[in-house]
Amino acid sequence: MAEPHRPLPTALIMPGNVRGGQVISLVEITGSIGGKVDAPKLADEMGADIAVLLPVLDAAEMLGLVRTEKGDVHLTELGLKFQKTSKNKLKMLKDRIAGIEPFRTALELASKGRPITASQVADSLNEIGLKWHYQPEMNESLIRTLLIHWAIYAGLLRYDGKSGKFQKA
Amino acid sequence: MKGKTALSERQVEVAAGTVVVTVDHVNLDYHKEKEPLPVLTDVSLTAVKDQLVAITGPSGCGKSTLLRIISGLVKPTSGRVRVLDSEVKGPRDDISIVFQNFVLLPWRTALENVLFGLSSRKDLTDEQKNRKAESALEIAGLQGFESVYPGELSGGMKQRVGVARALAGDPRVMLLDEPFSSLDDLTAERLRREMHTLLISPQTSVQSVILVSHNVEEIIELADKVIVLSSRPAHVVGELKVDLPRPRNKKSDEFFQWVDRVYSLLS
């Protein structure tokens, strides 16, 4: 008998093209202009196209750093703390990042003690219909990049480039 | 008159014993069909302790060539460069340079790329080299990325590996050649904000930083002193001490006034 499918994700999903550094810049720039700004002006201040800004904004909102209201971007209380800390900012968000895909699944797989590959994470997410790209190779590559750029910075995972495997930090 | 003022300021710096880098009446000529083609004419400047000096000028004026002379990679036709008390006669361990392009070896991990910069150090054991490389990666904000290959890193992270490689050798002078120009705006903005505190901090051995850039806003954001060069043959047309408090507000009127001052010297 086939294993029952895991419930479809109502999960938070990190956009494949967003990096931690972009979220940090967004929060720092919003903070430097008073903590409230409309999205087109924010894009202008960041020297970014609005199409580039929107997924970064989604990620920042998902992490609880900003909220958007009628086109305005507001820093939350956490966003203000995040802006002011000079320490590793993404480590501050460790728990929140751990709840977002593909990090949630990667951590779940890695918690079994064995090093895991991006391909295993992709397969597991595929089972619940979660993909970042329709081509399997690109999907795996995007997941690997997300894990490297977020989960290592946040101190959730370690990565060995020689074997291409991740381990719980 | 301007020259006299600059000279007297320099004399004060020398007397205070804080001068780290001295570029002293440097000239550089290339030769075209045996005719000398002057590139740099009588360039002098100093960088004192804990100072970030920016060199700017029109495209192709010889800014990067001047940086290579300071690093010892290019020999001037006349004049000399000193770091603290000794003359620079060739590349040396206490001067590091970060280039515009990342110049990383793609088949080596981040740690191995940093270690590569220490490969000529006979005074260090392998263990010491490893410790230095790991510590430099940590200072550059790449703790946890030791085993990652350059192809898996973003542009900003690759440039951080370049900074870590430059820091690992405990340089006293750090030279930056347009280090942000290959990066996207967002990444460049973030790295720029960190760079001054990252380099001039008790965590590093760096005593002075010399930055070459054509981006005037970047220069005013980072520099304690700005040297403006003319078009070729380049000579110094202005030397400005930027006394804006840090962190600098790029939206303030004072910031724009400083940007204007540099532009007026460039035009």
Distance CA A131, CA B107 (A): 29
Burial class of A131 by CB neighbour count within 10 A (0 to 12, 13 to 18, 19+): middle
Give the start-end residues of each E strand in chain B. Answer: 19-32, 35-48, 51-56, 78-83, 86-87, 95-98, 173-177, 208-212, 225-229, 236-241
pLDDT of residue B5: 55
pLDDT of residue B198: 79
Q: Which residue has the higher pLDDT, A2 or A37?
A: A37
Does residue A54 sit in the same domain as residue A97?
no
Chain B residues close to A47, C-beta within 8 Å: 185-186, 189
Residue A29 lies in a domain: yes
The domain boundary, picked from A37, A61, A90, lies at A90
**Taking Cα atoms as reference points, which of B73, B61, B28, B67 lies closest to residue B45?**
B67
Phi, psi of B182 (to 5 degrees): -95, 0
Q: What is the identity of the amino acid at B76?
A: P
Domain span holding position A36: 20-90
Distance CA B23, CA B67 (A): 10
**Whether the bond into B106 is cis, omega within 30 of 0:** no
Per-residue pLDDT tens digits for B102-123:
789 999 999 999 999 999 888 9
pLDDT of residue B182: 81
Residues in chain B with pLDDT values less than 70: 1-17
Q: Does the pLDDT at position A119 exceed 90?
A: yes
A23, A24, A25, best to mutate vs chain B, most B CBs in 10 Å: A25
Does residue A79 sit in the same domain as residue A98?
no
pLDDT of residue B183: 82
Q: Does the pLDDT at position A4 exceed 60?
A: no
ipTM of model? 0.78
> Mutual orientation of helices B185-199 and A20-32 as an angle, nearest 10°?
80
Q: Which helix (H) or strand (E) holds A67?
A: strand A66-69
Does residue B64 sit in the same domain as residue B140?
no
Does residue B11 sit in the same domain as residue B67?
yes
Helices (H), B103-203: 110-116, 126-139, 155-168, 185-199
Q: Smallest Cβ distance to B148: which of A48, A88, A159?
A: A159
Burial class of B201 by CB neighbour count within 10 A (0 to 12, 13 to 18, 19+): exposed
b/e per residue B220-254 (b: at least 16 CB within 10 A): bbbbbbbbbbbebbbbbebbbebebeeebeeeeee
| Residue that the structure tokens 């779940």 belong to | A108
Residue B264 lies in a domain: yes
pLDDT of residue B7: 59
The two structure tokens encoding residue A118: 């991006």
Cβ–Cβ gap A161/B109 under 8 Å: yes
The two structure tokens encoding residue B169: 């050798």
pLDDT of residue A10: 62
Distance CA B36, CA B78 (A): 13
Chain A residues close to B154, C-beta within 8 Å: 19, 21, 149
Does residue A124 sit in the same domain as residue A76?
no
Distance CA B117, CA B105 (A): 11
Domain span holding position B85: 1-91+216-267
Please say whether the beta carbons of B87 and B80 come within 8 A.
yes
Mean pLDDT of A98-106: 96
CATH number of the CATH domain containing B103: 3.40.50.300
Residue A105 lies in a domain: yes
| Four-point Cα dihedral B251, B254, B259, B263, nearest 10 | 140
Does residue A73 sit in the same domain as residue A100?
no
The domain boundary, picked from A33, A61, A90, lies at A90
Q: How would you classify the pairing of strands A36-38 and A72-75? A: antiparallel
Q: Does the pLDDT at position A2 exceed 60?
A: no
Q: Which residue has the higher pLDDT, A6 or B182?
A: B182
Residue A1 lies in a domain: no
Phi, psi of B50 (to 5 degrees): 60, 25
Cβ–Cβ gap B189/A169 under 8 Å: no
Q: Which residue has the higher pLDDT, A62 or A9?
A: A62
**Does the CA dihedral B200-A22-A59-A135 come out positive or negative?**
negative
User: How many distinct structural domains can be found in chain B?
Assistant: 2
Cβ–Cβ gap B186/A169 under 8 Å: no
pLDDT of residue B14: 65
Question: Which residues of A lie inside 8 Å of B (Cβ-Cβ)?
Answer: 19, 21-22, 24-25, 28-29, 32-33, 46-48, 88, 144-145, 148-149, 152-153, 155, 158-162, 169
pLDDT of residue B10: 66
Residues in Cβ contact with A87 at an 8 Å cutoff, skipping those fewer than 6 apart: none
Residues in Cβ contact with A68 at an 8 Å cutoff, skipping those fewer than 6 apart: A39, A57, A61, A74
pLDDT of residue A48: 79
CA nearest B140 in A: which residue?
A88
